[in-house]
Amino acid sequence: QKGGFSTFMDKEIHDQPTAVADTLRGRIDEHGKLKLDEGLIADSVLNSIDKIVVIACGTAAYAGLVARYAIEHWTRIPVEVELAHEFRYRDPVVNVRTLVVALSQSGETMDTIMALRHAQQQGAPVIAIVNAQGSTIARESDAVLYTRAGPEIAVASTKAFLAQITAAYLLGIYLAELRGNKFPDEIRTLLAQLDEMPGKIQRVLDSAEPVRELARSLVDEGSVLFLGRHVGYPVALEGALKLKEIAYIHAEGFAAGELKHGPIALIDEGQPVFIILPSPRGRESLHSKVISNVQEVRARGARTFVIAEEGDTEAAEHAEQVFYVPASPVLMSPLLTVVPLQIFAHELASAKGLDVDQPRNLAKSVTVE
Ligand code: F6R
C-alpha cells in the first residue's frame, strides 16, 4: 500500500507529480473552456461576479492564499481567502455577485461546510474544489472541480495541497479567458507552464537528499522559522505547519517584509531559519529585498537555509546552505518550493522516531466545528 515507502506521507510526497498531472489532464476543452466535474455555474453568473472568496482551513487555506496571487493577477477580480471558521461568524459581505470557492481535501471539514451553507444563504454561487468524490462539500456546492490527487492517507496534507493550487489555477485561467482578461495565446502559455510542473516537481524529489541530511542534523532543535514573500509567504506558512504537525517542533512562518516589524527579535545565535527566495528573474526588487532579509537574520546569528531557483548565483553568498529548485514562472514556483519543506518535516519527524502518518492529537478530517 505504501508502495515501498516507509510512510504514507513519504509516498504521497512522491505522488505529487502525478497528482498535479492528473488534476490538469483533460480539464480545458478545445475552446479553452473549463470542464467542471459536476454541476454548473452559468457563464452569465461568472461574468457578473465582482469578488471571489475562498473558504478553507489549514493547509487548504494556504493553497487558497497561493491561488489568490495568481487569480487576482490573471482575472483582476479581488480575491479574499478566509479561514472558514472565522468567515462565518464575521457577518461577511457575500451576495449573488460573490463567487465562493470551498477548498477542501476531505470535503467533510465541518468548519468549511458551515461557512459554505452560510454563503449559500446569502445567495452566493459556490464552487467546490475537493479531493474526495461525493463528499458533503461536493454535494452541497453548485459546481465541483475535483482535485485528482487520489486518496490521501497521511494526516499531514501534501499532494492535496499541490493539487488544490493546480485546480484553483485552472479556475483562475478559465475566469480570465471567460471575462476576456487574457488573449487565447496567453491562456495557452499559462496552461503550457502548468503542464511543465509535474516534471519539475519530479526533479525536486530526485535531488532532495541534502534536505534530508539537514533534517537529521536538526532533530534536537526547539524552534524553526520560515520566511517568504509574495507567493513564498504562504509556502513559509505551510512549511511551518508541516513541522508543527508531525515533528512537534515550534515553527512559525512569517512574511519576510514583516521581520522588521517584530519577529526579528526572535533571532538568536543558532536559530534555524528557512527562507524562500523569489526568483531573480521576477521582480528584481523582491529578490534583493529578501536577500537583505537573509543578511539581516544571518548577521544576528541565524543559520540560514535558503530555497532558491537554479541559476541564482547570489543565493549561496548569503546562506549557510541553498536548496535549488528548477526555474519556473513566479506564480508556478510554490508547486516546487514547498516540496523541500515537506521532505524536511517528514525526515525530521522520522528521525525523531515519531508516527509521521498519525501525529498526536490530529485526525485526517475534522468533522466537528
Ligand atoms: C494539514 C492538514 C489540515 C487540513 C485542514 C483542512 O496538513 O491536513 O490543516 O488541511 O484540516 O482539511 P480539508 O482540506 O480536508 O478540508
280-320 pLDDT tens trace: 987 768 999 999 999 999 999 999 999 999 999 999 999 99
Is 260 noted as a catalytic residue in this protein? no
d(CA 295, CA 298): 5
Q: Give nearest CA residue, ligand 1 atom 11.
A: 58
To test the pocket of ligand 1, the residue of 66, 103, 157, 367 to mutate (highest count of ligand atoms within 8 Å of its CB) is 157
Instruction: Give the residues of the chain that fall short of pLDDT 50.
Output: none
- Residue 366: CB within 6 Å of ligand 1? yes
Ligand 1 center to residue 105 CA distance, Å?
Answer: 7
Alpha helices, H only, the chain: 8-14, 16-24, 43-48, 58-75, 84-87, 110-121, 136-140, 159-178, 184-195, 197-206, 209-217, 232-247, 284-299, 315-318, 334-351
Work out which ligand 1 atom sits closest to the CA atom of 106: 15
Q: What pLDDT is attached to residue 32? A: 62
Residue that is written with C-alpha cell 543578511 in the block: 295
- Residue 365: CB within 6 Å of ligand 1? yes
d(CA 130, CA 135): 8
Count of H-run helices and E-run strands, the chain: 15, 11
- Residue 156: CB within 6 Å of ligand 1? yes
Q: What pLDDT is attached to residue 39? A: 81
- Residue 58: CB within 6 Å of ligand 1? yes
Q: What pLDDT is attached to residue 110? A: 96
Q: What pLDDT is attached to residue 212? A: 98
d(CA 228, CA 289): 11
- Residue 106: CB within 6 Å of ligand 1? yes
Q: Give nearest CA residue, ligand 1 atom 10.
A: 59
Q: What pLDDT is attached to residue 24? A: 94
Residue among 21, 22, 30 at smallest CA distance from 184: 30
Work out which ligand 1 atom sits closest to the CA atom of 109: 16
Q: Kindly report the pTM of this predicted structure.
A: 0.97
- Residue 60: CB within 6 Å of ligand 1? yes
Q: Give nearest CA residue, ligand 1 atom 7.
A: 156
Q: What pLDDT is attached to residue 30? A: 66
Residue among 99, 95, 14 at smallest CA distance from 51: 99
Ligand 1 center to residue 101 CA distance, Å?
Answer: 15
How many CA atoms lie within 13 Å of 123's alpha carbon, on the beta-carbon side?
6
Q: What pLDDT is attached to residue 263? A: 92
